[in-house]
A and B are shown apart, each in its own frame.
Chain A
Amino acid sequence: KQEVTQIPAALSVPEGENLVLNCSFTDSAIYNLQWFRQDPGKGLTSLLLIQSSQREQTSGRLNASLDKSSGRSTLYIAASQPGDSATYLCAVDTGTASKLTFGTGTRLQVTL
């Protein structure tokens, strides 16, 4: 059974810092990996999707990498801003009915 772990569970950084969020998964036979952002009381906003054949994806200040063989992904956020404060979730798609298996998230706070 696929298990997804995210470290750290919570992170507080001052504005302007670069930071890395980590995601690991136990079964490397994945179809793709998706990073989401969730604001309190809200649904999930898709940030980046990496196909299993890709090694990274970039969108603005966000860069996600994927090392399928070692079961790891990282989300890099450059020049963090208070508006980046949210919970970040990673999810893997094993291709079985395309259901996503989620980690428990990293709660990020960016302070002024």
Chain B
Amino acid sequence: GAGVSQSPRYKVAKRGQDVALRCDPISGHVSLFWYQQALGQGPEFLTYFQNEAQLDKSGLPSDRFFAERPEGSVSTLKIQRTQQEDSAVYLCASSRTGDGEQYFGPGTRLTVT
């Protein structure tokens, strides 16, 4: 029923901590995307799933970033050993098909201190 939801909405992590960000897409949407938005910038692509398959992870900035969608619904973006440059808003989007309109969640604002 509802749109894309993300949790937590805000996360403060100390440098070096691991974090996990959750995305609940719109029910029945096949495709799921993660984007990273730095302050004052447009979102930048991180990774893309079609059902449970991760088809593109070319935007992940380092091997500290890992995403999964094991049952083709909920997705988790994990960042290990967080660094200050990881501070950003992480947006999740879903679409009915891979080539359709993308619907975005409210984002998770991550601050690394």
Contacts and interface: CB of A to CB of B under 8 A. Distances in A.
B87 interface: no
Name the interface size band of chain B: 20 to 34
A91 B104 CA distance: 13
Interface residues of A, number: 26
A4 B42 CA distance: 10
A20 B101 CA distance: 23
A61 interface: no
B21 interface: no
Contact of B59 (A31, A32, A99): A99
A49 B45 contact: no
Interface of B: 4, 6, 31, 33, 35, 40-45, 48, 55-56, 59, 91, 93, 95, 98-99, 101-107, 109
Interface of A: 4, 31-32, 34, 36, 41-46, 49, 89, 91, 93, 95-105
